[in-house]
Amino acid sequence: MAAIRIENLVRGYGRIEVLKGLSMTVDDGSIYGLLGPSGCGKTTLLKVILGFLAPGAGNVDVKGTIPGSDVGYAPQEIALYGDLSIAETLRFHGRLHGMTSDQIQQRESWLIEFLDLPPASKQIGKMSGGEKRRVSLAVALLHEPGLLLLDEPTVGVDPELRARIWDHLETISQQGTTVIITTHYIDEARQANRVGLMRDGVLLAEDSPLAVMESQSAESLEDAFLALCKREVKA
């Protein structure tokens, strides 16, 4: 069953067209890796899915009430209040989602350990870029939403933790959470159930990572993407 189905989506800002007839399908309870260079329209696509941007043309079907409490969103910008501590940040977002203090407390302890965060009392403005990004991810995971939209969550995160994050995403997707994750570390998306290779406002390919690599007889996703780009340029 599809959690998100998009057909021929067109959307831009003013005269600039960013999404140029994009179609994608995200299965319920799966991880979807949205790959592509910056400026290709990934963030715009996420904003359409979130309901922040109305489609210019085409169909967008998203399961559930969006925006709403069943969404966890980690924007590409860190998007945290620098003057708050980790605890205050989690309390704020927990309250927005109607969580009780106990629930927030429990998730806080777990997230701090899982994401290797500094102590809860530490002010976000005083953290490193990587730490901030992990807090941003913690905020998205906090209320255990059914749909997770993660825009470049692994930038500046060390490989060991990156692997742990992917493992966690796999676990929760098996429990029914739908995850869309954008990244430009293309090969980390091998763990995704499906990847969409995006370039210049459309998907060049959409399939399981293995199928994409096989279709291009490539050794890695990165190489497959490169082959697809070359073919696109020729055409």
Partner 1 sequence: MNGGRIYAIAARKFASLRRDKRMFGFIVLMPAIQILLFGWAIGGTPADLNVVVVDEGPAERSAIILGHLEGSDSLIITTESNLSAAIEMVEDGEHWAVVHLMADGTIEMHLDNSNQQVTNTILLEVRDAMQAASGGTLPLTIQDPVYGDKDPAFIDFLAPGIMTLVCFMFSTILTAMAFVGERHDGTLDRVFAAGTQPTEVLIGHLAAFTAILVGQVSVVIGIAVWGFDIPVVGSIFLLFAICLLLGWAAMCLGLVVSSKAKSEFQAMQLNMPMLFPALLLSGILWPVQALPGWLQPVAWALPTTWTAEACRSIMIRGWGLEAEGVWMAFLANAIFAGIMLLIASRTLKVRS
Q: At what angle do helices 86-96 and 101-114 cross, to 10 degrees?
A: 130
Q: Is 232 in the site for partner 1 (CB under 8 A)?
A: no
Q: At what angle do helices 86-96 and 129-141 cross, to 10 degrees?
A: 30
Positions in 146-165 near partner 1 (CB under 8 A)? 149
Residue (8 or 69) nearer to partner 1, CB: 69
Q: Is 41 in the site for partner 1 (CB under 8 A)?
A: no
Candidate residues 56, 57, 79, 101; the one interacting with partner 1 per rule CB under 8 A: 79
How far apart are CB 126 and partner 1 at their closest, in Å? Answer: 12
Which secondary-structure segment (H or E) carries 48? helix 42-50
Q: Give the binding-site size for partner 1 (rule: CB under 8 A).
A: 31
Query: Is residue 90 within 8 Å of 111, Cβ to Cβ?
Result: yes
Q: Is 10 in the site for partner 1 (CB under 8 A)?
A: no
Candidate residues 69, 105, 191, 193; the one interacting with partner 1 per rule CB under 8 A: 69
3-state class percentages of the chain: helix first, strand second, coil last, to nearest 5: 40, 25, 35
Positions in 83-112 near partner 1 (CB under 8 A)? 83-84, 88, 92-93, 95-98
148 closest CA partner among 68, 73, 229:
73
Which secondary-structure segment (H or E) carries 183? strand 178-183
Q: Give the span between the Cα atoms of 91 and 71, in whole angstroms.
A: 17
Residue (111 or 197) nearer to partner 1, CB: 111
By CB under 8 A, name the binding residues for partner 1: 47, 50-54, 65, 67-69, 71-73, 75-81, 83-84, 88, 92-93, 95-98, 139, 149
